Amino acid sequence: MAMPTEPPSPDQNQLLMALSPDIRQRIFPHLELVNLTLGKVLYESGDAQHYVYFPITSIVSLLYVLENGASAEISVVGNEGIIGVALFMGSDSSLNRAVVQSAGQAYRLSRQHLKNEFNMHGDLLLLLLRYTQCLITQMAQTAVCNRHHTILQQLCRWLLLSLDRLPGNQLNMTQELIANMLGVRREGVTEAAGKLHRLGIINYNRGQITVLNRSHLEQLSCECYAVVKKETDRLSPGLST
């Protein structure tokens, strides 16, 4: 008979890990562990948000969606952050779509419990504002990257940001989904991924990407990855890769 597995610790999320003991006592009992499947939409643009999510082993992409249905990723969030910043920035709805990019688990907290703690103007307020600054930096850098850098450079940046938020060196992601995230044609992603494969940097097989040479991947990436990582390391306590 298989032994039941222990649930992951909230401390596997960098923001939850950084909370003081008194805040932990107030909000940890209200955290709910949820499984996030690949492609699950946590909320659409304009939806009322009832929860924030603290990813543990999952990655969530924030996408801006145009009226014609086209979309592009504006940021990626993993165990360093939180999904649903609109709830503590003065709005109950969001301007973007949140989609699970890599399946896994997350802890969620209700809107009211988050607001109760945030309105105490304590350490959680400062922590979440610092994280929001990280998120804004990533969004701004992504916009610049998508405008000025090659698909190969964008793919390298995207792979590195994703790796920073996963425990291993493998990602389960089809080229079509990557193209949707980057807002480019699938043929461009196929060509860029093929080059990385030929160089021995990645191995791609049936939707599974394995990074074999991270240092070479960093060399081929544009400066956008380094800018985002530096800001994340500076402002997000405990995040280190």
| pLDDT class of 177 with cuts at 50, 70, 90 | confident
Tell me which H or E stretch contains 41.
strand 41-43
Please state the rounded mean pLDDT for residues 138-166.
88
Architecture of domain 149-226: Orthogonal Bundle (1.10)
Measure Cα distances from 128 to 80, 147, 175 in Å: 11, 29, 33
Contacts of 210 (CB under 8 A, 6+ apart): 169, 170, 202, 203, 204
pLDDT at 241 over 70: no
Note whether 76 and 62 are within 8 A (CB): yes
Q: What pLDDT was estimated at residue 27?
A: 94
**What pLDDT does residue 3 have?**
53
Whole-number Å distance between alpha carbons of 165 and 225:
13
What are the tokens at 48? 């009322």
Distance CA 93, CA 77 (A): 18
Lowest mean pLDDT among 125-134, 149-158, 168-177, 211-220: 168-177
What average pLDDT does this structure show over 20-33?
A: 94
Can you give the residue ranges of every domain in the chain? 10-146, 149-226
Give 185-232 pLDDT, tens digit per residue: 878 888 888 899 999 999 988 778 899 999 999 999 988 888 888 888
| pLDDT greater than 50 at residue 239 | no
Rounded to the nearest integer, the mean pLDDT of the chain is 86
Report residue 224 as tokens. 């956008």
pLDDT, residue 234, reads 77
Rg (CA), the chain: 18
**25 band by pLDDT with thresholds 50, 70 and 90:** very high
Is the pLDDT at 238 greater than 50? The verdict is no
What pTM does this model have?
Answer: 0.85
Ramachandran sector of residue 206 (left: φ over 0; alpha: ψ -120 to 50; beta: rest): left
The per-residue pLDDT for 4 is 59
Q: How far apart are CA 241 and CA 238, in angstroms?
A: 10
CATH class, domain 10-146, is mainly beta
Residue with tokens 């562990």: 33
Residue pair 82/238 in contact (Cβ under 8 Å)? The answer is no
Show the tokens assigned to 46.
Answer: 């304009």
Give the chain's largest Cα–Cα span.
56
Tens of pLDDT along 59-109? 999 988 877 877 778 889 999 999 998 888 877 778 789 999 888 999 999
pLDDT surpasses 80 at 128:
yes
pLDDT surpassing 50 at residue 178: yes
